[in-house]
Structure 1
Amino acid sequence: MLFTSIDILRPAKVTFPTEVTNVVLINNSVVQSPDYGHTTQELNQRERAVNVPTDSLSIYALASLAEGLVEKEFFSSVSLEPNSINTGTYFSVPTPPEREKIEAAATRNRAEGVISLNRILVNDKQGLVFDQEYNLFVGYLEAIYETQWSIHFPLKNQIYTYTVKDTVYWESESYSRQRAMQGLPDRKSALIDGALITGEKSVNRFIPWWDKVDRYFFTSSRKALKAGMDSVYYKNWKGAIATWEQSLQTASGTMVRAQLSHNLAVVYEITGDIRQAKAYSDQSVEYLLSSFSANYDHLMTIANYNEELEIRLREVDKVNLQLGEK
């Protein structure tokens, strides 16, 4: 088999109404207590709680998100109000922003959409272990961020809320126990970097994003498959389609037909015709089920790809809606 990588557009978690072209990001979180969620456990020692300041995590996460949204140019404008509007004290329980504050932020920034960060919690652990296989000390810092967001459309009186977790990990190896721990970043600075990463990851949750995936072609010395592959090598997709569709009409074996149909599905996906790709993939599955010569690898390749195309069909409709093309 031959594999190739293609870029596909994935849908965001949130679908903004087409009339929302300007958004503002607001901070509605309460600062996490420095004595909550931070532990250390070195080799052969008990886990203990430590204090780490986290007062600026929400600001860094929002700033990173705002920068990423601006770079993508999905919205006409992206504004940021980094200072928290939440006067409460319970950092672990998110509360939605008051309607008056939402409307005020939208008015100040001439925005039709408001993205509110209602909570950012981090649970992090720094530790040291010994790798007996490589005779190394391994220092690590793992931080799990939980963020809760709400998206508001004041003119439509609509609210969308979701919670997500992101994990950031640092590791340092050394033959020296002390150097393994010294190789880790400063803990406060590391948690700030993690908040920046969390904000960056959130960009793809608000707007459609590009994902790179692998696709596989069946190859063989058989003329029916080889002729089309000659076109694939030169990215002559029309030529590959014409060749394989003609071969499909004359091929005798059901396994060859299954492979031809699968290859046609991949080419049609590359050209952007997902529905035709799914049709050929379904046909490939049918041929495969009636074949007595299918091996496990071929079965899984064809079946898994058929499932991926089923997902893509649903995603394409959602992406088109998010891009205002439906």
Structure 2
Amino acid sequence: MKKEIYLGGLSLLLTACGGINYVGIETCNPGEVTFPQDVRKVLMVNNAIAQPEKSGYTYSLLGVVQDTARAKADSALFDLCASCGTAILDASYFEDVLLFHDPLRDAGSSLVDQKLTRRQVDALCRSNDADAVISLDKMLFAMERKDVNIGAGYLTGTITVKMQGVMRAYLPDRDNSLATILIEDSVEFQQAAEDLRMLNYYLPTADEALRMAASALGSKVSGYFVPHWTEETRWYYSNADSRWKEASAFASSSKWDTAKAIWLREFESTSSKHQQAKLASNIALCYEMQSQLDKAYEWAKKSYDFFMESYGEKSRNTELLKAYSEVLKARILADKKLNTQIGSR
């Protein structure tokens, strides 16, 4: 069995038969934007101009570009705001999240990033009993559909939607925005069918594809504005030794304190550097699972040093522990920001 692990932008492929056991962990991360503690109600608004129907969408059928490609982005802008607001509300961070149903701008260029003025923010907060505004100030889509012949009478269709935009958080009685967030993502739809009619049935229409992509993006970017949970993968080393097996059994049952006690005794009783490296990594995981991040970071650094001494800088395990140490360091900093955001809420 093989598993690919991403840590701090580093991708490493590990093999489970080498004595590695994987475990999932949920981590609470702060939002990029820190709102004042007195912000209880937030208003979501759409301040972006929808791009023209003929802009940003290309359709290629069997290698021939079609000149009839059209896509309406109006509803997609609303869906992005709605899904973002819903996800923020689900985070139970604010008392309420309101959605302003009408777009704030009805004229102008979709290419223009136009901020809300202080007067607009004040009026929106006052009329909607809100303490802050989150605004979609610009949003552009680039959508491409390609239908190709894959043989045996079958077609495959692929729709790729690329999205780029700007969102901001505003507070009343301020001339400048609280924060500016650049958002970017892409979504792909793919389907095969025996003819074009069935392919069109299976694939979303151009308008539907934009709306689905925008809704997915809205849910994703909600994490910029509120603390949020993410699922990550961790691991611990094992071998055929009876004490290691015993500790692994406790770890698999989430009895991290008992597993840690065994691995600590093994660490102190062995002089093998590569064994100490693996044990130190396991102990770091135990501390992380117990939310003792400073000690987890300390032991991860020990593990890294032992792996460096035993296997060198280019070893997969050395690289992995270096990345793990950086992740723990980032979590320590993030926890300080998280404590500030949660505060007395």
Report the TM-score, using the length of structure 2 for normalisation. Answer: 0.86
Change in 2 beyond 3 A, CA 1:295/1:198? closer
Equivalent position of 2:138 in the other structure? 119
Match of 1:89 among 108, 114, 119: 108
> What is the Cα deviation at residue 295 of structure 1?
9.1
> What is the Cα deviation at residue 64 of structure 1?
1.6
**1:164-203 alignment to 2 at 5 Å?**
164-203=183-222
> What is the Cα deviation at residue 67 of structure 1?
1.8
Q: Does the 8 Å CA contact 1:288/1:299 hold for their aligned counterparts?
A: yes
Equivalent position of 1:229 in the other structure? 248
> What is the Cα deviation at residue 114 of structure 1?
1.0
Deviation string for 1:238-289 (max 9, x for gaps)? 1112222222222111111111110000111111111110000011112222
Match of 2:299 among 259, 280, 297: 280
Match of 1:66 among 63, 70, 85: 85
Amino acid at match of 1:148: V
Q: For 2:317 and 2:168, how far apart are their aligned partners in 1?
A: 44
Structure 2 residue 27 is the aligned partner of structure 1 residue 8: yes
Equivalent position of 1:99 in the other structure? 118
Equivalent position of 1:219 in the other structure? 238
Structure 2 residue 164 is the aligned partner of structure 1 residue 146: yes
Q: Does the 8 Å CA contact 1:86/1:97 hold for their aligned counterparts?
A: no
Structure 2 residue runs without a partner (length 5+):
1-19
Change in 2 beyond 3 A, CA 1:299/1:83? same
Change in 2 beyond 3 A, CA 1:48/1:316? farther
Equivalent position of 2:323 in the other structure? 304
What value does the CA root-mean-square deviation take over the aligned residues? 2.4
Amino acid at match of 1:142: T
Deviation >6 Å, runs of 4+: none
Q: For 1:313 and 1:130, how far apart are their aligned partners in 2?
A: 52
> What is the Cα deviation at residue 293 of structure 1?
9.2
In structure 1, the residue corresponding to 2:115 is in which secondary structure? coil
Structure 2 residue 313 is the aligned partner of structure 1 residue 313: no
Deviation string for 1:208-241 (max 9, x for gaps)? 2111111111101235533422321322111112
Give the % identical residues: 22
Deviation string for 1:277-318 (max 9, x for gaps)? 000001111222222699934333323322322222222222
Q: For 2:105 and 2:130, how far apart are their aligned partners in 1?
A: 20
Change in 2 beyond 3 A, CA 1:34/1:259? same
> What is the Cα deviation at residue 9 of structure 1?
1.2
Q: For 1:45 and 1:322, how far apart are their aligned partners in 2?
A: 53
Q: For 2:286 and 2:174, how far apart are their aligned partners in 1?
A: 42
Structure 2 residue 42 is the aligned partner of structure 1 residue 23: yes
Equivalent position of 2:258 in the other structure? 239
Structure 1 range deviating more: 54-63 or 113-122: 54-63
Match of 1:255 among 267, 270, 274: 274
Q: For 1:293 and 1:249, how far apart are their aligned partners in 2?
A: 23
Q: For 2:214 and 2:236, how far apart are their aligned partners in 1?
A: 41
Change in 2 beyond 3 A, CA 1:98/1:297? closer
> What is the Cα deviation at residue 183 of structure 1?
2.3
Structure 1 residue runs without a partner (length 5+):
none
Deviation string for 1:109-154 (max 9, x for gaps)? 232211111122211111112446x985210111112221111122
Structure 1 range deviating more: 42-51 or 233-242: 42-51
In structure 1, the residue corresponding to 2:148 is in which secondary structure? strand
**1:72-83 alignment to 2 at 5 Å?**
72-83=91-102
> What is the Cα deviation at residue 44 of structure 1?
2.4
In structure 1, the residue corresponding to 2:93 is in which secondary structure? coil
Q: For 2:274 and 2:134, how far apart are their aligned partners in 1?
A: 52
Q: Does the 8 Å CA contact 2:118/2:175 hold for their aligned counterparts?
A: no
Structure 1 range deviating more: 80-89 or 15-24: 80-89
Amino acid at match of 2:114: T
Total equivalences in the alignment: 325
Change in 2 beyond 3 A, CA 1:272/1:130? farther
Q: For 1:325 and 1:283, how far apart are their aligned partners in 2?
A: 36
